[in-house]
Amino acid sequence: MKCKYTEFIIMCLVLIVTVVNMVGLAYDGLAHSLSDLPKGELVQSIESADKKLTLNLYKASLTGVGHAVRGEIVDAKNQEIKNIYWQLDTKIAEGFWVNKNTVNINGNVVNVDGEPYDSRKAIELPDASLKNLIQKTR
């Protein structure tokens, strides 16, 4: 009797750990954070016209995924670094300053003080996905 009770407790613990792991992985996959991106290889570094900010563009090779481009802004005054750009599936890393608060990276316009560009957020769902089917029926 004691053996079955121990097996039951172990199975419950394994189930709890599995569920917690699955929830953690799902949250990690859905929460698009630009804080833990790979460094990559510096390709281009461009100062703003007022020399207060620098746009650095990096190419990263991702095992099993391909290539990506990361863009960061470096504040010259306090050397604070902020990731503002992440694009998967590209080897092209070209950018320029549009004005003192805006950059253009690979044709995508990004406000350096606003929302960063993350290509993972722009991934379209297939036409046959449940979400698209529901939207088409409305």
What pLDDT digit, counting tens, does each position of 70-118 carry? Answer: 999 999 999 999 999 999 889 899 999 999 999 999 999 999 999 999 8
Distance set, CA 70 to CA 49, 84, 124, 136 (Å): 21, 8, 21, 35
The DSSP letter of residue 124 is P
Per-residue pLDDT tens digits for 2-11 = 678 888 888 9
The DSSP letter of residue 31 is S
Number of helical H runs and strand E runs in the chain:
2, 8
Residue 122 pLDDT > 90, yes or no? no
For residue 121, the model assigns a pLDDT of 77
Q: What is the pTM of this model?
A: 0.67
Per-residue pLDDT tens digits for 23-37 = 766 655 555 677 778
**Are 91 and 70 spatial neighbours (Cβ–Cβ below 8 Å)?**
no
